[in-house]
Structures are given as C-alpha cells and as structure tokens.
Structure 1
C-alpha cells in the first residue's frame, strides 16, 4: 500500500518581530536616529555623473512640507493619486501621504485615458500629482483634462514638489494608525477591470521590513532597482525595505543598462534587481563586472528565470535570489540566496516568517506534497481588501482568512514552493492540463534560448494547443524542430509546443513582463 502524501501546507514560522508603526512614524524614527545618513539619491537629469541626495532629516522635512500642502485639499483617509515615472518627487509624495494620513494611489504611466478614468472613478482621489512618464512624455496636460470633469478633484504638477526646504512648521499632526490604509495598488487580477488592492501601513512597512531581514540588510545598504514605483515591488518592497533597514534608496527614472551600470558604480549600490531581460542587457554592458563588486544581492522576478542566467550572475560573484508576491500580498516566499542555480531559477523558495501557505484543489481541499493546485496564503502582509469592491474582496478570501492568489503552484517535502502559472493561464490540450511556466523552464535550458513565452492558441482538434514565442541569443542559432526535440527530453510529449514563432523583441509591460495577449496575433487561426 502506498503511503498517503503529507498535505501541502506550511504553518507560519516565527521570525523577526513585526513593526507596529506607520510608514510616517518609521521615517520620523530614522530622521531622529540617523539624521545625517543618506536616505534618497538620484541622478539629476538622468546623468549619473550629477548626483543629488537627501539625508533622512532632509527627507523628513521635504515630506512634511509636501504633507502640509496635501492636507490643504485632502483630509486623512482621502486618496491622493500619483502618475509619473520614478524620481525623488515620487518618493517624497509617498512619504508625504503617509504623514498626512491620506491614501497613496499610484497610476501606471503606460495607462490609456480610459484606464486612468476607471482608476479615478474607483478611487475618487482629491489630488492627482502628475509629471512625465519613463520616456519623458509629459502627462500633466492629460491629467488636467481627465480630472477637470470630476467635482472636487484637481491635478497638481509633481515637478513643483520641493526637494530642498527649510524646516516646516508642523502642527496639528493627524492621528494615523498602523491598520489604516496606506496604498491602493491597482491590479487586473485574473478577471475583469483593474481592482485596487488596499494595503495598510502595517502590511506595507512590514513587507519592506521582512524583505530587508531576509536579505540581512542594514543601514550600509544602497538599494538601486529600476522597477517602476507604481508597482508594489518598487514603492513597497524596495523603497520601504530601505526605510525599514535604514539604508539608502536610489531613484532611477527607467531601466537603461548603460546608465544603470554608471549609477551603480557612482552610488556603490549593494542591492539591485529586476526581471531577466534587464540582466541580459546588463551582462552585455561594459563595466557591469566592476559594478557588481559592491553588490550583496541580486533579486530576480516577474518572469521565468533561466538557470543559465543565474549561473552567469553567480559566476560574476553575485548572490542571486527570487521572490514571490503579488499586489494583494507583496512578499510571500524567498529563495535561498545560497542556493544553486537550479534552486533559484526553478523555485520561489520557502515562505517568509509569519506566513501560512497551502495548496488546494478546485474543491478547496489541501492536496498532497508535490501535487499542483492553487496557492492560498494567510499573512499579516495581505491586503485589507479591494477598494470599494466588497464582493470581489469576499470572493478572494476563503472562510479561514486565506487569500486565493490565483497562482498555480506546488509544495515539496522540504517546504519549497514552485509556481506553475496563473489559474487562467493553464493550457487544456485534449483534457490534459499544461502549465506554461513548466514548458518555458524546459526551453530556457537550451543555451541558444534567451527568453521565451508559452501560451495557448485555439485548436479544432485539441481545444487548445501549446505555442511558443522565442527570442534567441543569436538569430537562426536553432530551429523550431531542434527546440521541440530538446524540450521532449525534459517534458511529456503533449506539453511540447506545436506552433512556434521567433522574435527579436517581446512586447513588455512597464515592469518588464511579457504582454502575452499581444503575442496571440502571431498565431492566426487555422481553418
């Protein structure tokens, strides 16, 4: 008789005590205890040779001055939207909202007017701070036109935020509690229009705190990561990790490999990260070897990670790790920075402290170890709920308070988590479930494959068929037939892509993820 598999469930382990304060109080704590420590650095006009900075005491003064301006138009609990590329003003407004007790609502700089209008309608912000996007395109006139019809809202020029101010007169500080809303992060989730995942001060601050503790970060660290601040990976996980540990955050308007290498060298960056496509470009950039000499850790995520990329970074002396989280819960797991390339590339590691996790089937029952199901998480870092969407909130939490992540994963006997894709991304070919990430991982092991996206395309015979879009390290280095033969050595025959396309570039989101929906046009329907 075969022994029953242990259940795929992990109980929260104790760890570093959670911080029970607001984001604003954490900034005040740093400004009092480390007033002269660099807190924020940026390249003036994106020139790495022209750096400017604020210490913790200066950053607090700038944020308090901005908070005073915000409170003239917005009361505690009201929303303040922010639509601009990364920059020092962005960070100042983030902290200003925390101090003012208002709720920060980041807008994606790539949004259309219709998407912005939806976000404005849902969050009803009193103010919309607008600047330029990561290409330098001015968003201010669009912002003014979009808020003009909305009673009580106004657009504000973000570039007018002062970065060098005298000590403001701070009176009548609002009462802000750790459980109060801090940020509304828009996410499309698995279905429907964008929803606003609402994070409390406690959840957001501790997401940064636990990320920093997982990496053994401290006040000596310089965090340089070009991930957009309109994602929680930037505004919460990176910015607040620097704040929680007393380190310095380097604001970089957008990813540019040559500028990033120069900025890493100029600032002595010790923590960096991004999606794999960024690091392929960085590895080809002169000076990256030297820039890596001060780096204590590289964080990868947002897409399938090839073992070959991890091996290349490790060969340069970098400590590489992959994390897993989402807008509704910014950090869930972290891979072992000391792990080998296969561990880092094919898993997302183990749960961080204070986190319960289980893998369940379609009926809500916990599956056995090694079996695939939906990842459910219960953590102090999970969102309060979707802003002004009680029904959607009720649907995403189960009766035990677990968040239904919508991600498909598995848990092995060592407690290591693997993510196999999104529930809606499962390809069902002739009744067989195929997870795109498994196929992508198999193809990424081929030395000629730089990056790959696997997706479902309609099939009259099978219902859905597996398709792959591939970018090669060198055009023409390998054929589709050769890749199919290679993939068949590692995955079942029905998982091997039957339709192929080769591209020189992928359409990417602002955070560097592949827009798979746009790739479907490469595969016209077959008669």
Structure 2
C-alpha cells in the first residue's frame, strides 16, 4: 500500500480551480488533500498590522498538493522560519460532491466540518503541525489553518493605529472562507466545529466571545486553555509596542509613526527580537471607533460573559496530557537528529507518560503514510534519518520492533562486527552525548574510547565498585555521560552487577530496588537523592546495604549530604565533579573525612591536570576563586560539527575551560563556587548562587533552593530564590525574610522569593534555572497593575511596577494607606513623579539607621515639604541637591531632625542616622 496516489483531483472554489491529491488514512482509507489554499491576501507591505483582506482570484489551476510555509516565527531552536505570506489553510475530506467536473453520490448528505486552530503560545506553530490521517478514518471534513503570530499577529497600540488581534481576525477570515467554499469539498457549512489546543484552545473561546465570528461555527472544543487564562491577559499593550519599536530603532513618540516604522521593518528583523522583547503578544480589548467599527474583542472576557454577550453554542472544555511533549520535545529532537545526521534511531515506546512515537510523528509527519511494519523512511524535516526502531511489542507505522531486529541476526552479521572491532582505535569517537541544555539548546559532545574507559576505570576505583560482590544501582539515564560512564562502561571495566529498577527515575522503585537487590553502590544527582530520602521516610522503607553513594551534576549542600548518610544508611559519601565535556576530574578518596566529603567535590583524579585562572587566563593563588581549567584523558574531542564552540571551550594547548567558578585548595581538594555566568553582580558586589542556596537549605522547612540573578536597570541584578518546601510545611515570603535577618548581609537577601512544589529538571535531575527566570519574567510582566492591587507591604516589593526607574503609576493618585514603608532601604525606590503620588495617610514610623540618600535618589519636582515647623519649597530641586547642600554625598547627619510633613501627614524622623 502506498502513502500517496499520484492521480490529481480538482475542486472549484470562489477564487478558482484547485489541484489536490489523493492520500491514505491511518487505516488505509482513501481521502483527498488540498493544502496551502490562500484564504486572504498576503498580509505584507501596507497590509501588515491590518485586518485580513479577501483573497484575489487566480488564473488557471492552483497547485494545492503540498503543504505551504508556516507563518514567520521564532522557533525554540532560536531560528526564524516561515513566511509573512502565510494566510493559507488545508482541507482534507473523504467525499467530494464533484470530482474533476463529475458528480459523486453519497446519499445527498454533506459531512460535518472540523476546523482546527493550532497552539503555540500565539508565537509559533502552523496548520501542518498535526497530520490528518487519523481524522480521515472518520466521516468528517478536516480544515487546519495558519494565522499571524507574535508581533505581526498581535501588536496593539491600544488605539486605531494598530488595534491588534490580527491573528484572531485571520482565523475569522478562514471561517468565512469555509462558509463560502466548504460545500465543494463535501462539507456542511451549517455544521462546523471549531477546536484547538493551548493558544488554539484559547482562540476557540475568543471566537465564542466575538461578534465577528458569530454564526460561522456551531460547536466548539477547547483543549487546555480559555480566554480566562492569566497567560492571555493583555497588560499595557502600548508599552509593549513602544518597547518593540525601541529595539528595532523605530520612533515611539506617537503611535502613528511607530506603526508606520514597524510596518516597513523587515519581518525577519522583527521576529528575531522575540528574546529581547521577552513578552508574549496576546489578544487585547479593542476600542469601537469610526476607524475600527467592528472590533474583534469589545470588552474583557468576564464582562462579556456576565452580559451574556457571546455565542450560545455547545462547548466542550478539557485538557491534553502530552501537549508539552510536542511543544518542547519535538524541536529539541529535530535539532539533535539533524545536528549529528542520525541514520537510525532506537527509542522506547514511552518516556514517563509521553508517547515517544507521537513525538516522532510531530517531527516526521510522513510516518502516517507508511505501512505498519519497518521501512526505510524519508522525512522532509529529517533528511538523514532512514531507520526507526522501537522497544515495543506493538507495531507502529514506519518503525521496526527491536525484538524483530534482534531476531534477524545472522552469522555473517556477527562476522561484520568482529571485523569492525579490529579497526577501532583508542582515540576514535565512540559516543556523542548532548549537553544537558540547562542554559539553552544542547551541544553534541564527542567522546572517545580513551575518554570513557580511562575515566571509568579511575572513577570506579575511587567509588569502590572494583570490590568483589559490588552491586551498582543505576538511577541516571544511559543517554547521559554519568549513566554511560558509571554504569555501562565502569560496569564492564570492573565486572560489577548493575541493577536497573525502572526505565526512568522513580524514587519508590529506586528505594525498593536498593532493598530487594541489596545494592552496595549508587550514583545520582542531589535532587534524585532528595526524592529518595523523602520517599523512604514517607513509606517507612529502610535501606541497610549501601557501602557508598557517589553524587554530582549539581551542588550538594552539607545538610543534604548528612541526610543521605542518616536516612539511607550510607557508610561512605563520594562527591565527584565532572561535566559532559571532561568526564570526571575530581572525586573523593577512600578514607576522606566527613568535612572533605561534605565541603568539597573531592581530590583531583590521577593523571588529570587542573588549574584555576583569572579572566586573563593567569593562575590564581591556592584558595582563590577563579575559573577551573582541566586537561587530560577525560577531555572531549570536541563539539560535533561546531568548530567555533569547540575553540571557545578548548584551548590550543588542550586546556578545557569549564566555566565553573572554583576554589582549589592546597591539599588538592576542590570546591565549586558556582557557574561564572551565574554569578550575581549587584552594585559591584559578587553574589554566588550556591552560597544563597546553601543558606536556605539550612532552614528546617526548606528542602531545596535555586538562586539566580534577575536583570535590574538600577542595580544590575537582583537576587531571586525559588524554594521547595518539605511536605506539610508552610512558609510565607515574610517568614523567609525574617529568617534572613541578622544571618546574611542585606544585599544578599533575595528581592524575589517564590515557592514551587517541584522544579522542572533535565532527564538527569538538573534544574533548568533559565526556565525559572523565564517564569519569573512572565509573572512580573503580567502584573503591570496599580501597585496596591498586588499584595505588597513594602517599597522593596513595589520596585518593579510602582516606582522603578521610569515606571509610572497608572492612575493619578495611589494612596499607600497604612503600609509601613520606612523599614526598607530606599536605595531600591528609584524615581517617582510628585503629580502621581499622594502620600496622604502614610503611617509614621522610625527610620532607625537606614541610609536614605546614599544612592543619589532623584527627588526632582517633590514640591514643598515641611521640616519641623518650616515649610521648605523643594520645587525645582535637582538630583542630590538641597539648596546649596549636597544631601547624598556629604554624609549630612539628619539625626534629631524631628518630624517632617509629606502631604498632610507628619512623619517622625526622630533618631534618623545618615552617617
């Protein structure tokens, strides 16, 4: 059975004749495919940032046999793909009333229409994301559509220059096209169901709420998202538009010139700014005006619902279980396959709850056209991949089963393997491991036989698995260096029994495996051990046989190391330090003290050279922090197909630049301070995240802490910490701040404190801090509200939205009421404008020893202020000057100032110390 039958098929629509093709469904049923049909004029040139226009007719026959481009977008591979000329849709049907000019009979009944709206956060995705083969086994007409995305689809200036919602208007235009033409494809225009997932699901809800879409559909299905989602809350669209303009050097003084400039800016240039804008463009409320008489969204969704102003159609709302697998895993899989030109891919049937085959279908949609047996595959997105093998008893289209491949071995196959073995050299590459990708897309690390075998031999001796009767439990994945090195290679080198309790990490199965198999050794990351500790305590499981536990991959606090010994009854802790690019460089030695195993990453491995250098590459004295460089048998051959990054990491003399801030002690033991690029620099002070994390994990209710820097225009970076609490524990931000008092210096106290149930991790348990930063930035950007609507009690917390540099209040007056604002450091306040701030009603409070003016705070335009009984006019006050006296640099002592009046409230400044 062939996937595509060559015979063309033609249908006539309002604009002209379409040439489609015949395809086969998942179960072998014939259906007709018409792809990349224009439903609107290209939204380019003067039509950019305007509502879609009806498509022009074409002359002759339009080829609709192949899928068209996606709308231009910034992908998760950090590349720009697609075209601005993208307003196309696809139609798939099992019935054509008139085929090539001849009538077909089907009981005179037209088919129900399913209109699909793709997801992707309103900034990525396309009509071609999901193939039609499964739906074509049903009696429906399936329509999928592109729509404008990101800045091109949702830029709003809040006025008539660019009302926004162009992507949603595109969807409406596609629905109008369906009403006019779908009968030609055997579809019933009076039975249209719109359905979508994620942003597509939210779009479905918006169509229910929009008068423009009323009557164009008759049923709706939303999967994982509605217009009530906080993600699609439109906040200050003009500010976003102005920010967008500034990034591409467009004027932002008025919206007319702003939009005109953006309209004539290269589309690729605009889309490439997505990381810099760092905000999602989403639907916004439009004003009904003479220039915009028919807004798509007239009011906020809750108001429309309360007013009953929406389409009363049957609506199913639910959620999807694997949408993230498609959005996240598919681009990374596609990137990895093409990066190293993979010829054959072997994978399990499922990874946790995600179907690996469904992820593969997203990358290789052509799989649906292959028979349910193995075949040489040819995917348009994966040109090198030819063979797919699944570890499954079930047969999948285009894939071989591993059990069948194993059974197909012949004597001559074994001889081929023997011949190849005689040609293998020590320095040949033997494995490509992709780096964890905790800071971005991963790199392919090429390791040699020499790298892996020598590292495994030495690490195995340090770890103690060379002892007779050792049993090693595998808790990390084999696709990572730790799993390959410490389980597969070390197991073979030292003849150790390896226990694999589960295909992926499962804390309960790991603990049960330790007990049932009486394992003596285990390796894992600190986060994995933390989960095992919690699980063993919750279930009352007792581990008694562990001789040693090695750990690495992330910093391990002293408190966690001690918990590992106590709870899992581990006799010896074996900290190790390494990375994908250097295998292992440090590891504990037999006989190390408790302090050495809890405060360091061990002693440098035999025959490995290490040094710690400054920014110029000069060695620093022992005990001084600097960047760790490593040279020796563990260092990779290079990054696959990436000479530039290889040169950045490997010097010509063989030194590998790890990027880790490290302290090398005189006794040869080492200590990680943090990643150099992760060091937080706040007003010139260096703050190491590991120190913040270790401090918080010392709290009895805190299981895990992740600290990082958040860009701040005034101080450079602010400290943020995400905390995972123990089961049943409850802490507030104020509890955490109180815990910090008198324990750490003030500038290290996190400005942002957030709580999570768990952290998003890589497959081996590393926390992806850049994901946490993205989460925080989205949260802060979504809260562009008058400050009193946020649950803040101090000006330190108000900094981001209320009085940060150049941020103004959204209404004329904001009355802080009774907040005690004076217990905080006013260096955080930034600028404010007198006309927009009314301090009436402030509680009086005592400043104590707070340094009020040390930062050069600009009180320009403060107006009049009462000091004691004298009213002093501060109008025209420049930054830092009060009359002829410089307030902020002279160390002027305001001690004993007494009271001061701001607005109508007398504040007690008695005892103020500014020395």
Give the TM-score taking structure 1 as reference length.
0.73
Partner of 1:171: 415
User: Separation in 1 of the partners of 2:491 and 2:534?
Assistant: 28
Partner of 1:442: 695
Q: CA deviation at 1:312?
A: 2.4
Structure 1 range deviating more: 377-386 or 278-287: 278-287
Quick check: 1:522 aligned with 2:753?
no
Which of 524, 529, 542 aligns to 1:279? It is 529
Quick check: 1:344 aligned with 2:344?
no
| 8 Å contact from structure 1 (residues 308, 341) kept in 2 | no
User: Separation in 1 of the partners of 2:554 and 2:692?
Assistant: 13
| Rg larger in structure | 2
Partner of 2:444: 196
Which of 513, 520, 544 aligns to 1:263? It is 513
Quick check: 1:232 aligned with 2:481?
yes
User: Separation in 1 of the partners of 2:491 and 2:540?
Assistant: 24
Partner of 1:292: 543
SS at match of 1:302: coil
Q: CA deviation at 1:182?
A: 0.5
Higher relative contact order (CA 8 A, sep 6+): 1
| 8 Å contact from structure 1 (residues 304, 345) kept in 2 | no
Shift of the 449–366 alpha-carbon distance from structure 1 to 2, 3 Å rule, reads same
Alignment gaps of 5+ in structure 2: 1-324, 365-377, 392-400, 782-799, 802-915
Matches within 5 A, 1:492-503: 492-503=745-756
Q: CA deviation at 1:337?
A: 5.9
Which of 183, 202, 213 aligns to 2:431? It is 183
Q: What does the per-residue CA deviation read over 1:101-136, in whole Å, with 9 as the maximum and x for residues that have no partner?
A: xxxxxxx99962222222222201221112234314
| 8 Å contact from structure 2 (residues 701, 729) kept in 1 | no
User: Separation in 1 of the partners of 2:590 and 2:772?
Assistant: 33
User: Separation in 1 of the partners of 2:327 and 2:631?
Assistant: 32
Which of 451, 455, 464 aligns to 2:708? It is 455
Shift of the 168–344 alpha-carbon distance from structure 1 to 2, 3 Å rule, reads farther
Q: CA deviation at 1:199?
A: 0.2
Q: CA deviation at 1:302?
A: 2.5
Quick check: 1:157 aligned with 2:396?
no
Partner of 2:348: 131
User: Separation in 1 of the partners of 2:589 and 2:461?
Assistant: 13
Alignment gaps of 5+ in structure 1: 1-107
User: Separation in 1 of the partners of 2:743 and 2:495?
Assistant: 45
Shift of the 155–345 alpha-carbon distance from structure 1 to 2, 3 Å rule, reads farther
Q: What does the per-residue CA deviation read over 1:40-76, in whole Å, with 9 as the maximum and x for residues that have no partner?
A: xxxxxxxxxxxxxxxxxxxxxxxxxxxxxxxxxxxxx
Q: CA deviation at 1:489?
A: 5.6
Partner of 1:508: 761
| 8 Å contact from structure 1 (residues 298, 320) kept in 2 | yes
Structure 1 range deviating more: 182-191 or 372-381: 182-191
Give the TM-score taking structure 2 as reference length.
0.43
Q: CA deviation at 1:364?
A: 0.6
Which of 309, 317, 321 aligns to 2:574? It is 321
SS at match of 1:443: helix
| Count of residues paired in the alignment | 420
Quick check: 1:411 aligned with 2:664?
yes
User: Separation in 2 of the partners of 1:192 and 1:263?
Assistant: 34
Q: CA deviation at 1:375?
A: 0.7
| 8 Å contact from structure 2 (residues 555, 672) kept in 1 | no
Partner of 2:379: 148
RMSD over equivalenced CA pairs, Å = 2.8
Q: CA deviation at 1:498?
A: 2.5
Q: CA deviation at 1:263?
A: 1.9
Q: CA deviation at 1:194?
A: 2.5
Q: CA deviation at 1:403?
A: 0.1
SS at match of 1:285: helix
Shift of the 469–342 alpha-carbon distance from structure 1 to 2, 3 Å rule, reads farther
SS at match of 2:425: coil
User: Separation in 2 of the partners of 1:474 and 1:120?
Assistant: 40
Shift of the 257–109 alpha-carbon distance from structure 1 to 2, 3 Å rule, reads farther
Partner of 1:10: none
Shift of the 463–152 alpha-carbon distance from structure 1 to 2, 3 Å rule, reads closer
SS at match of 1:395: helix
Shift of the 134–518 alpha-carbon distance from structure 1 to 2, 3 Å rule, reads same
Which of 311, 318, 327 aligns to 2:562? It is 311
Shift of the 389–310 alpha-carbon distance from structure 1 to 2, 3 Å rule, reads same
